Structure 1
Amino acid sequence: MATKSAFHVIVLGPNGGPREDRVTGLLVRSTSMKWTPGSAVAVDAGTLLAGIIRLLSQNSHEFQNEKGLVVDGPFEGLELPYRTPEANAAHIFREVIGAVLITHPHLDHISGLAINTPILEAGSGPKPVAALPSVLSAIKNHMFNDVIWPNLSDEDGGAGLLTYQRLVEGGNPRFGLGEARGYVRACNGLLTKCLSVSHGRCKQRFHPESGTHHRIGSAVFADQLMLPSRAISVDHTDASFYSPARSPRLVPSNPKEPVLAMVESSAFFLRDHCTGSEIIVFGDVEPDSVSLEPHNRRVWEAAAPKIVAGTLRAIFIECSYNDSIDDAYLYGHMCPRHLVSELKVLATKVLEASDASTGGEKKRKREDTRFSEAGAEQVSPRSKRTQSIAADKERRSEPPAEAQNSSAVVDEQPDAAKDEPIDDAPDVDEANALDSARWANLNPLPLAGLSVYIIHIKESLSDGPPPGDQILRELQAHGEEAHLGCEFHIPNPNEGIWI
């Protein structure tokens, strides 16, 4: 199985708390690079060394020979040079992990990075930490700041164990060619591109001198010592913590009242340099239907052509709660009904991308589709997808004129304006308004062949079945009703995922 796969993913931390030893953390590598130095990237680091040690301890009996070659389990194929799981975990962090990608600066995504970084002193150089500028600003000013934790970075006179790599939101067009345009190196064998998404809302107050934002209720002393951070801090004085429903106003009626702001998170596109295959790893994210600044649609628009081309293999995305949660208590997270609604938007974008790829050959494709349904064995799955979707798109009415004009206006904006956040939230829940019955008879379905792995499940710490069991059942039921065609999975942390 591994020999046919482009990606090897190890889920170190599958959950979103409250246990501190299993919070978010993944390792990703290209199978073309084997287990060579700098061949893996960590995506988030709530759990890092602790997760590696746990997995190595559980699979220690799988060493095949005296060289320490692992023949099964999540670290299959890795030669471990030491006897103990602890020493081998330190080796993996120092030498095998080439960089750490951080989706957003919440503790359950960065705490392992802080605690683990001192062991890099015995390594060969600073470890790159790559993220959006706002994320790195928060980490720099509020964690590695010689107050919360020593400054272990190579900036501002720090120890030099970490080096910050500030990513261009949406990709850097100066790098890459063709389909890899905008991608930058993540580690040996992997490229990455980062898009901003919303992880709920918080209150902020603008500081007129520094041009920054800070926590409501801060003392004057904090105002005077304001660090140049773009990070958003949270007011804990009322019940509005990340609630998407309790603070509906973008502009306060009272000038002294704080303005609501988006909590920025990220979606990383990871591209295998050898095959061109890709996966997407989301940080914490909320549905566009409740967001102050809907950003998910941009991710789906970028992903759809890759699904049509057959290069996007999997999505790792959070689904923290089951459907019993009310929207007012999502706190910037997903539940099954909202995740499937988001995937319905992706399915619609796939239809549009497939139609665009067929050009003026819709009629011929429609005829070919009828033929392929009679003799399916003569047509490849990818060809069937294009033909069936094209025929279905032809039967649907064209979008309204105002939608076409709106798209044209966006295209005419200057480059600087294109990078600004999109805050034109729809008046209705676009995802739920989609009529998935219009693609119900397609063969294959729009998201056929796509695997969706669920991470960041909130643990209940109570008797009874794991929360993921109900979440998975609800996702599968919603997905079948929506005729998506994708497969939902809850990762097993004791097994590697080959994609």
Structure 2
Amino acid sequence: MSFDLVVLGCGGGPDELNLSSYLFKTCQNQWCDGILSVEAGSGLGALRELLSRDPFIFEDLKVIGKDDLAEKVLDDGSPSQRAARIYSWIRTFLISHAHLDHVCGLIIGAGSTSSSSPRYIAGTETVVRDIDTVFGGQKLWPKLASRYESPASTFGFIYNSLSSFGPYHSLSPNISVLLLPITHGMVDGGTYESTAFFIRNDTTLEECLFFGDVEPDSISSYPQTLNVWRTAAPKIRDGMLSHIFLECSWTSARPIHLLFGHLSPPHILDELMALAREVVSVGRHSTRKILDSQLEGILRGVTLVIIHCKEPITPSNPESDIVDVIVGEVKKLVYPARLGVSVIGARQGMKLRF
């Protein structure tokens, strides 16, 4: 086991109470040693609600630690106070792209949270610049972030601009991350990029793969996901990558022209088939076409976690749960392909150890 994860939020909107936000640490560390928040759509409010429903959501994942107040956080104060304390343990917010459903909690809470250690907003230079249009302009929000560590006492956060394609960047205790660009549609006639993260436990060297929002390679004017699969393939073959977090925003009924840079279940199947072919291709020198029959079981041991499901404003069936619907559609398409991959859906408040 390498990672502990608490899903603070996993939705793709429009419900502002449940937006993309995933709290990571290694199994070798404790929560108060420092948390890596991958995305920051939901924040303090969501954490308070989770603690109200389950005050011990962190307890079985070793919330007790070296911090003098860590032993008290589960018992002392209101859910809001406990949430603020746990939220202060986040050392880095790693952002795939600057759309509001991925940064809203970070921005709203920036002026109201504190920490005894520097706190960082990490992402590509484009992500840093985009977030700074909010903090830097001082019209939408106060200037609460800086590129320089020296004024950390004045600004709440320090930007950490990360290069893509390597090297691995150390962001949290025993966690390093490799960034690769992916395409999230078009804007003003150009490509709008998001990011895929290879998140590595530096002790065990095991990794997971986390995608920001991404459109299908099959319809993209600038397909980049295949590069991610080629990087993932040898890690999967060697048993060093077991979990992939991949968005599926829409049901299969969503027309292609209304995907808006996101995936639906048929495209999940396409992408997994592409990944499986890359795994088969590792170390292969033959130029012969890879047959579907050669893909059977090739992704056994891999768990696909579906994230970023968008709640319909007017659901056709009010009793249905959109995560159940989308995950069910993905399973019906993926499982007959016999790739061996397991499919689950992320839920707000879910705890994973893997």
**Normalised by the size of structure 1, how large is the TM-score?**
0.65
Asked if the contact 1:350–1:446 (Cα under 8 Å) also holds between the matched residues in 2, the reply is yes
Is 1:493 the equivalent of 2:348? yes
Shift of 1:80: 4.5
Shift of 1:139: 0.7
Asked if the contact 1:437–1:483 (Cα under 8 Å) also holds between the matched residues in 2, the reply is no
Q: Which residue in the other structure is 2:24 paired with?
A: 28
Residue deviations 1:137-190 (CA, integer Å, cap 9, x gap): 11112444201111101249894211111111111xxxxxxxxxx211110011
Q: Which residue in the other structure is 2:81 paired with?
A: 87
Shift of 1:83: 2.2
Q: Residue 398 of structure 1 is aligned with which of 283, 287, 292?
A: 287
C-alpha distance in 1 between matches for 2:72 and 2:254: 44
- Greater C-alpha Rg: 1
C-alpha distance in 2 between matches for 1:305 and 1:155: 36
Residue deviations 1:179-220 (CA, integer Å, cap 9, x gap): xxx2111100111111110001121xxxxxxxxxxxxxxxxx
C-alpha distance in 2 between matches for 1:145 and 1:452: 39
Shift of 1:297: 0.6
Q: Which residue in the other structure is 2:171 paired with?
A: 186
Shift of 1:456: 0.5
Q: Which residue in the other structure is 2:68 paired with?
A: none
Aligned ranges 1:225-304 → 2 under 5 Å: 260-304=189-233
Residue deviations 1:416-465 (CA, integer Å, cap 9, x gap): xxxxxxxxxxxxxxxxxx7523333xxxx111000011111000244121
C-alpha distance in 2 between matches for 1:186 and 1:27: 13
Q: Which residue in the other structure is 2:47 paired with?
A: 52
Q: Which is strand-richer, 1 or 2?
A: 2
C-alpha distance in 2 between matches for 1:304 and 1:6: 19
Q: Which residue in the other structure is 1:456 paired with?
A: 308
Identity over aligned pairs, percent: 31
Shift of 1:91: 1.3
Q: What letter corresponds to residue 145 of structure 2 in structure 1?
A: S
**CA distance 1:34–1:99, shift in 2 (3 Å):** same
Is 1:153 the equivalent of 2:137? no
Instruction: Report the 3-state secondary structure (helix = DSSP H, G, I; strand = E; otherwise coil) of the residue aligned with 2:111.
Output: helix
Is 1:19 the equivalent of 2:23? no
Q: Which residue in the other structure is 1:41 paired with?
A: 36
Gaps of 5+ in 1: 64-69, 172-181, 204-259, 357-396, 401-433
C-alpha distance in 2 between matches for 1:143 and 1:112: 14
C-alpha distance in 2 between matches for 1:105 and 1:297: 23
Aligned ranges 1:86-485 → 2 under 5 Å: 86-94=80-88, 96-120=89-113, 122-155=114-147, 159-171=154-166, 182-203=167-188, 260-353=189-282, 355=284, 398-399=287-288, 435-440=291-296, 445-461=297-313, 462=315, 463-485=318-340
Residue deviations 1:312-337 (CA, integer Å, cap 9, x gap): 01011100011101111100000010
C-alpha distance in 1 between matches for 2:226 and 2:177: 19
Q: What letter corresponds to residue 57 of structure 1 in structure 2?
A: S
Q: Which residue in the other structure is 2:67 paired with?
A: none
C-alpha distance in 1 between matches for 2:54 and 2:323: 24
Asked if the contact 2:306–2:345 (Cα under 8 Å) also holds between the matched residues in 1, the reply is yes
Q: Which residue in the other structure is 1:392 paired with?
A: none
**CA distance 1:90–1:293, shift in 2 (3 Å):** same
Instruction: Report the 3-state secondary structure (helix = DSSP H, G, I; strand = E; otherwise coil) of the residue aligned with 1:146.
Output: coil
Gaps of 5+ in 2: 65-70
Q: What letter corresponds to residue 106 of structure 1 in structure 2?
A: H
**CA distance 1:49–1:37, shift in 2 (3 Å):** same
**Normalised by the size of structure 2, how large is the TM-score?**
0.91
Q: Which is helix-richer, 1 or 2?
A: 1
Shift of 1:123: 2.0
Shift of 1:340: 1.2
**CA distance 1:71–1:27, shift in 2 (3 Å):** closer
Residue deviations 1:240-267 (CA, integer Å, cap 9, x gap): xxxxxxxxxxxxxxxxxxxx21111001
Residue deviations 1:289-329 (CA, integer Å, cap 9, x gap): 11121110110000000001100010111000111011111
C-alpha distance in 2 between matches for 1:119 and 1:80: 21
Asked if the contact 2:135–2:144 (Cα under 8 Å) also holds between the matched residues in 1, the reply is no
Shift of 1:288: 0.6
**Off by >6 Å, runs of 4+ in structure 1:** none
**CA distance 1:332–1:80, shift in 2 (3 Å):** farther
Shift of 1:10: 1.1
